[in-house]
Chain A
Amino acid sequence: QSVLTQPPSASGTPGQRVTISCSGSSSNIGSNSVNWYQQVPGTAPKVLIYSNNHRPSGVFDRFSGSKSGTSASLAISGLQSGDEADYYCAAWDDSLNAWVFGGGTQLTVL
């Protein structure tokens, strides 16, 4: 059971916009910023969004993040087949003194 809650799966057709939610609590998302990671099976995770809504250089602006209260969301617009991957949210938890991750969302492009 993950501290942060994500839907296990999401899907969309090419060109569509999809969102992935991440729900936490006051000790993690409510107090700290959220990162989002993309992981293609068999490879290491790659940061997509850091500090809630910032994109590292090289990440397309089709990816965007937002946070409100104890929840966060990752939005992917103009969906492409190459976006098929697992997506994870993460935040520092002040009560646990630990990084906590969501269980991951497997994105399928139909």
Chain B
Amino acid sequence: EVQLVESGGGLVRPGRSLRLSCAASGFTFSSFSMNWVRQAPGKGLEWVSLITSSGSLIYYSHSVRGRFTISRDNAKNSLYLEMNNLRAEDTAVYYCTREPPDYWGQGTLVTVSS
């Protein structure tokens, strides 16, 4: 059974950093590209970033480019999102998904507030 479990969310002050993790199981992680998708409270889904299976190709949305860094460790079946210079508008539930987005984790809430 495919499982994606996000962790690392929490309350953080504007301008600070946070690192999210996603632990994958039930499939050959190293064969799949992966995404981060977020959802602000009461809002729709917003794609954040994609990383290919080897990590050789990475894409970011305009809203996070230059502040967020996606990475992966295929030996640990793990996906990461390093978030720097956080803003109030980054407040959201962050989901990791396989590519194309079929399986989704349960999400982890990031709240950026002073």
Contacts and interface: CB of A to CB of B under 8 A. Distances in A.
Contact of A45 (B61, B95, B100): B95
B45 interface: yes
B101 A90 contact: yes
Interface residues on A, range: 20 to 34
Contacts, number: 50
B21 interface: no
Interface string A35-47: 1010100011111
A101 B45 contact: yes
B45 A90 contact: yes
Interface residues of B, number: 18
B46 interface: yes
Interface stretch (B12-20, B68-76, B77-85, B104-112): B104-112
Interface of A: 2, 35, 37, 39, 43-47, 50, 56, 86, 88, 90, 92, 97-104
